[in-house]
Amino acid sequence: MPDRRRSHLVVLANRLPVHRAGDGEWHTSPGGLVGAVLPIMKARAGTWVGWPGSTSRTPSSWTHEGVRLSPVSVPEREMDEHYGGMSNRTLWPLFHDAIRAPEFEPKWWDSYESTNERFVRRALHAAGKRAQWWVHDYHLMLAPRLLRVARPYSRVGFFLHIPFPPEELFAWLPWRRQLLEGLLGADVVGFQTHAEARNFSRAARRWTRAEGTDHELQIDDRRIRVGAFPISIDVDVFESAARDPAVIARAQQIRRRVGARRRVILAVDRIDYTKGIELRLEAFEAALARGDLSTDRCVLVQIGVPSREATPEYVETRDRVERLVGRINGQFSTPGRVAVHYFRRQLPREELVSYYLAADVMLVTPLRDGMNLVAKEFIATRLDNSGVLVLSEFAGAAEQFRRALIVNPRDFAGMAATLKRAISLPHRESIMRMAIMRMMLRRHDVHEWAETFLQALERA
């Protein structure tokens, strides 16, 4: 057997953790994947193979905060079909309960295959023989098998950040067998929840030669461990931001400016149709209309992080959200008492933490979400155990945070009633709920997540 000691961790993910923005500076890329995996890679001084977001002015490789970055260059048309097409218009909607109809386009599949091959070629070139590979997310589901073929004795892990759909939805995919075989190249295939691990194992047993249980599959004399590894955040980083006097002062300023002695209800999402932003705004509107809530007593702050704006469904979502905000404000705002403050931008971490601290209630109400790290970030910042979290039962996070106020985002009446309950929850009850959630979060931070996954990979 080859010596696997001192193996070097190489992550393959669609995006590099930083991208060059319009100002020419490198900024952290949006989304939960980067937020979670970057601290791990910094701690391990690993190599990250990914797409730099554009082809212009990108060095061939460089080091960012201790992480070696290896950009993959992909021709524009191929990237459009791989990322804009197959990843975001086929797999993303299909894997999120088909909230939007997935499209099945053979040429997108061709580009998906060739892009996966490009990533693997780049990764093999960037890493030495002792690499331990960790492939992330739905853009690169063929990569584990390609790596296995090229390096039969290396350890290969795969983690899916988004949900894995039930068999009857996955069955729609014309390339279902190829995707499953791609994933079965890994030694460990990880998901956010047990239900998703089970969905995958069942699909693999049905459409490939794999046999076994929901936790362990065998194919061609290889064993594949399948399991739930709920992802988390770097709790210490958020806690120390929440202790920073400048962040606290800014939170007080935000409260004065938007709150004006009202209860502050906050929501922070990428502008994505899976996040349930429209239903949430409509529930808020209905509660105002019925007099369950009033703009004298509360204000909603919605931060929308721009996302995938080249995709029509995302532009439509953004338009609908902006029309709704306008409609609600038109009807319910009064001078000095705006009903909904809406900010479309990605905030730097300190500013985001100031908003978390300024809030009384946090709304995390996606229609479907792999985990949702915004919920965890909010909990991490509530050092005094204050604050109420309203959480969708369709976010992976709901499995861990039973003490949140759990809602079904499609239950309009239930959403409005929960909003009302959230802003008037007795202080003692909210403290008790938050304290338990904080304990849970502190026990399971992102370092523990990575440790658990990588140990499973070591033992594989």
Give the residue with the Cβ less far from ligand G6P, 39 or 387. Answer: 39
Regarding 227 and contact with ligand G6P (CB under 6 A), the answer is no
| Alpha carbon distances (Å) from 298 to 253, 260, 293 | 17, 9, 7
Regarding 32 and contact with ligand G6P (CB under 6 A), the answer is yes
Q: Is 8 a catalytic residue?
A: no
Regarding 165 and contact with ligand G6P (CB under 6 A), the answer is no
Single out the catalytic residue among 187, 272, 369, 445: 369
Q: Please tell me the distance from the alpha carbon of residue 222 to that of residue 251, in angstroms, as a whole number.
A: 53
Least distance CB 449 / ligand G6P (angstroms)? 15
Residue nearest to ligand G6P (CB): 31
- Per-residue x/- mask for ligand G6P, residues 38 to 77, rule CB under 6 A? ----------------------------------------
Count interface residues toward ligand G6P (CB under 6 A): 11
Regarding 84 and contact with ligand G6P (CB under 6 A), the answer is no
Give the residue with the Cβ less far from ligand G6P, 31 or 304. Answer: 31
Q: Judged by CB under 6 A, which stretch of 25-33, 200-208, 209-217, 440-448 contacts ligand G6P?
A: 25-33
Q: What is the dihedral sign for C-alpha 21, 23, 28, 32?
A: negative
Question: Please, are residues 381 and 357 in contact by the beta-carbon 8 Å criterion?
Answer: yes
Regarding 187 and contact with ligand G6P (CB under 6 A), the answer is no
Q: Please tell me the distance from the alpha carbon of residue 187 to that of residue 302, in angstroms, as a whole number.
A: 41
Question: Residue from 275, 308, 368, 403 that binds ligand G6P (CB under 6 A)?
Answer: 308
Q: Please tell me the distance from the alpha carbon of residue 457 to that of residue 315, in angstroms, as a whole number.
A: 40
Question: Residue from 162, 204, 242, 398 that binds ligand G6P (CB under 6 A)?
Answer: 162
Regarding 31 and contact with ligand G6P (CB under 6 A), the answer is yes
Give the residue with the Cβ less far from ligand G6P, 138 or 284. Answer: 138
Regarding 17 and contact with ligand G6P (CB under 6 A), the answer is no
Least distance CB 120 / ligand G6P (angstroms)? 18
Give the residue with the Cβ less far from ligand G6P, 115 or 307. Answer: 307
Regarding 161 and contact with ligand G6P (CB under 6 A), the answer is yes
Regarding 376 and contact with ligand G6P (CB under 6 A), the answer is no
Cα 35 versus chain centre, distance = 8
- Three-state secondary-structure class, residue 40: helix
Least distance CB 317 / ligand G6P (angstroms)? 14
Task: Find residue 216's DSSP bridge partners.
Answer: 225
Integer-rounded Cα radius of gyration of the chain: 22
Question: Residue from 116, 307, 354, 365 that binds ligand G6P (CB under 6 A)?
Answer: 307
Residue from 227, 241, 234 nearest 447 by CA: 234
Other Cβ atoms closer than 10 A to 52 = 22
| Alpha carbon distances (Å) from 233 to 98, 104, 229, 230, 360 | 27, 34, 13, 10, 21
Question: Residue from 8, 30, 178, 420 that binds ligand G6P (CB under 6 A)?
Answer: 30
Residue from 320, 274, 303 nearest 96 by CA: 274
Give the residue with the Cβ less far from ligand G6P, 31 or 185. Answer: 31
Q: Please tell me the distance from the alpha carbon of residue 169 to that of residue 165, in angstroms, as a whole number.
A: 6
Single out the catalytic residue among 82, 136, 139, 161: 161
Q: Please tell me the distance from the alpha carbon of residue 15 to that of residue 41, in angstroms, as a whole number.
A: 14
Using CB under 6 A as the binding rule, the residues of this chain from 111 to 150 that contact ligand G6P are 137
Q: Which amino acid is at 318?
A: R
Give the residue with the Cβ less far from ligand G6P, 30 or 227. Answer: 30
Question: Please, are residues 277 and 267 in contact by the beta-carbon 8 Å criterion?
Answer: yes
Least distance CB 15 / ligand G6P (angstroms)? 5
Question: Residue from 15, 100, 368, 444 that binds ligand G6P (CB under 6 A)?
Answer: 15
Q: Please tell me the distance from the alpha carbon of residue 67 to that of residue 460, in angstroms, as a whole number.
A: 26
Regarding 102 and contact with ligand G6P (CB under 6 A), the answer is no
Q: Judged by CB under 6 A, which stretch of 31-39, 177-185, 196-204, 206-214 contacts ligand G6P?
A: 31-39
Give the residue with the Cβ less far from ligand G6P, 13 or 186. Answer: 13
Q: Please tell me the distance from the alpha carbon of residue 405 to that of residue 390, in angstroms, as a whole number.
A: 5
Q: Is 360 a catalytic residue?
A: no
- Judged by the rule CB under 6 A, the positions of this chain that interact with ligand G6P are 14-15, 30-33, 137, 161-162, 307-308
Q: Indicate which residues carry an active-site annotation.
A: 161, 369
